Amino acid sequence: MTDLSTTASAPAAAMVQAEDVWKSYDNTPVLKGITLQVSPGEVFLLLGPSGSGKSTFLRCINHLETIDAGRLMLDGELIGYDERSGRLYEKKPRDVARQRRQVGMVFQQFNLFAHRTALENVMEGPVQVAGLAKSEARDKATALLDRVGLADRRHLYPNQLSGGQQQRVAIARALAMEPKLMLFDEPTSALDPELVGEVLDVMRQLAADGMTMVVVTHEIGFAREVGDTVAFMDAGVVVESGRPDDVLLNPQQARTQAFLSKVL
């Protein structure tokens, strides 16, 4: 049982609803009352310095990290918890796994299976988790690799692919589970500069297709071009949020101004 405060239910329109979310490690607060909302089809960008809590918050969305207080909802459903008699209790692992299948996550490192080809990596989830027939999963994986521009690389192993190609395989793998939400944790930070564009191009297309996305990134140009909302985080709080041009070109908070003066 986790003693979490109860608040009003999330609006039906919200894909992600965070209400006063707190998270600590060894009694050190990392998230200090995060409240924000992501609408269906929205591209929500999280910016901020290292250690500001961005990645931790992303991992809380799909319950890779538990929260200490507040609540998180995915499409109107509590993430990781059931509510009984005004208290929240952690869900059974199988129920958490069911929720996670609705959320695709792309990490800084690609986390591909080194002993499987690109095609086999993308097939893995649909076959092993969703129980899809291998022939159907193969067709689906082939189409997804084509979508990210890698149909001709489908039989190669990760060590035969560039970093940008590996990250695009990782995106295809996440999409194979047909998620309603995609999370990106600095997906270009491990890439050589000349490879960043090919990953961002795939993300631009996902945004154009209407995929709901929460993206932790330092790519300011991408945030301005593709983002619907930008939130600047520092020291575990959302300092400022709004439309990309408002936050990035005309920040109102001194901390936001100081950060952007160093990265723009």
Name every residue whose Cβ is closer than 8 Å to that of residue 95 and which is 6 or more positions away in sequence: 82
3 state SS of 2: strand
Do 15 and 180 meet the contact criterion of CB atoms below 8 Å apart?
Answer: yes
How many C-beta neighbours within 10 Å does residue 108 have? 16
**Tens digit of pLDDT for each residue in 177-230?**
999 999 999 999 989 988 999 999 999 999 999 999 999 999 999 999 999 999
Q: What is the pTM of this model?
A: 0.91
How do residues 125-180 score in pLDDT, each as one tens digit? 999 998 999 999 999 999 999 999 999 999 999 999 999 999 999 999 999 999 99
Q: What residues pair up with 22 in beta bridges, in sequence order?
A: 32, 69
Q: What confidence score (pLDDT) does residue 4 get?
A: 53
List, for residues 55-90, the tens digit of each pLDDT value.
999 999 999 999 999 999 999 999 999 988 888 889
Please, which residues have CB within 8 angstroms of residue 104's CB and are 6 or more apart in sequence? Answer: 174, 175, 177, 179, 181, 182, 183
**DSSP alpha helices (H): ranges in the chain?**
54-61, 93-100, 118-128, 134-147, 163-175, 193-208, 220-226, 244-249, 254-263
Q: What average pLDDT does range 91-117 have in this prediction?
A: 93
CA dist., res. 215 & res. 177, Å (int) = 19
Q: What is residue 157's DSSP assignment? A: -
